[in-house]
Structure 1
Amino acid sequence: MSEPGALRMRLDRLAREVAKFGVVGGLGVLVNLGVFNLVRGTTEIPMVRASLIATVVAIVFNYVGFRYFTYRDRDKSGRTKEMSLFLLFSVVGMVIENGVLYTATYGFGWDGPLASNFFKFFGIGIGTLFRFWSYRTWVFRALPAKEAVQTAESFLEQAPRQATRRQPDRV
């Protein structure tokens, strides 16, 4: 395949991946904000704790969506490792997301309903950039490309034939 053709295929695959990630992530944002506002409106739980609860619910929702929709074609062999890495990077994203909300709420005193939703959403956006990179790089690893597997198989098939054709070295 030509260099521009291969690049176009990679860009197309990346665009589809970003779109699927966006669908699951967008629904996860709705779950996150919905749970956040539900907990804030119906309980006396402080804002950042309500946000942490909402983020945990969204993490569970997102894992299911990413594993069975966005990255369903990716390697499924190391499920324990996958879930551990997913949780690790999700916790880092949660710290990013809620760190923004914490700073706005307790650092600047911006704790009204509109401000808290804005900074919650802003924190989700920053955390999402980190999550996209980390999930695709470390958690939902791509299976080897078909071309690479076929090349390796053909190389392995040719190796025994070449070995039988060689003449022994004469001294």
Structure 2
Amino acid sequence: MTTTINAEPAAAPPSVMRRLVGELAKFGIVGIVGLVVQFGTLPLMLDVLPATRATMASTGIAIATNYIGYRYWVYRDADKKTRSREIALFLLFSGIGLVIQTGMVYALTGMTGMNGKTAVMAFNLVGIAIATLFRFWSYRTWVFRAVPAADPALAALPEPPR
């Protein structure tokens, strides 16, 4: 009896740097969508709320939008067994990012005395830039933990009978 062995070489896993660049690109795309949502709602909020509250409200809407993108696209392979923990941590770290972002708006409007729509939106952009660094680190480190990759040697074994 002759046994045929699959001679195809196993695909090499992508390098860490390559995966990080891909993750950063996806994170950035979701972030741009959130930015569009936020800058679409912020001027409307500024018509009825003070600068810091308007920033908080528009950021809250963007955070909800971004969660969908992060969960179902960027970090779709994250451990789904801990969804309630994930949501709680996402809200915690998003809240910290919100404080960073709104704090920048509060500080810059207070320091400059400029609180018109254009100034608030520019100051908000500064806050978003700083808060984004924190959010990227915290989401990938604590919120959307990836399921460990299976050992390639184990993947080559046949499925056990059910």
Other-structure match for 1:55: 59
List gaps (5 residues or longer) in structure 2: 1-11, 158-162
State the Cα deviation string for residues 104-152 of structure 1 (Å, max 9, x = none): 112331212222111101100100000000000000001112237839x
| Match runs of 1:96-115 below 5 Å | 96-115=100-119
Letter in 2 for 1:52: M
State the Cα deviation string for residues 48-104 of structure 1 (Å, max 9, x = none): 111110011011001011001111111111000000000000000000000000001
| Match runs of 1:71-90 below 5 Å | 71-90=75-94
Other-structure match for 1:14: 20
Paired with 1:13 and 1:103, the residues of 2 have a C-alpha distance of 37
Bigger helix share: 1
Paired with 2:135 and 2:33, the residues of 1 have a C-alpha distance of 15
Other-structure match for 2:72: 68
Secondary structure of the equivalent of 1:104? Answer: helix
Identity, % of aligned positions: 46
Does structure 1 residue 25 correspond to structure 2 residue 28?
no
Other-structure match for 2:144: 140
Paired with 1:129 and 1:149, the residues of 2 have a C-alpha distance of 37
Greater Cα offset, 83-92 or 112-121: 112-121
Alignment CA distance shift 1:117-1:70 (3 Å): same
What root-mean-square deviation, in Å, do the aligned CA atoms of Structure 1 and Structure 2 show?
2.1
- TM-score, length of structure 1 as denominator length: 0.79
Aligned residues: 146
Which is greater in Rg? Answer: 1
Letter in 2 for 1:67: R
Paired with 1:137 and 1:51, the residues of 2 have a C-alpha distance of 26
List gaps (5 residues or longer) in structure 1: 155-171
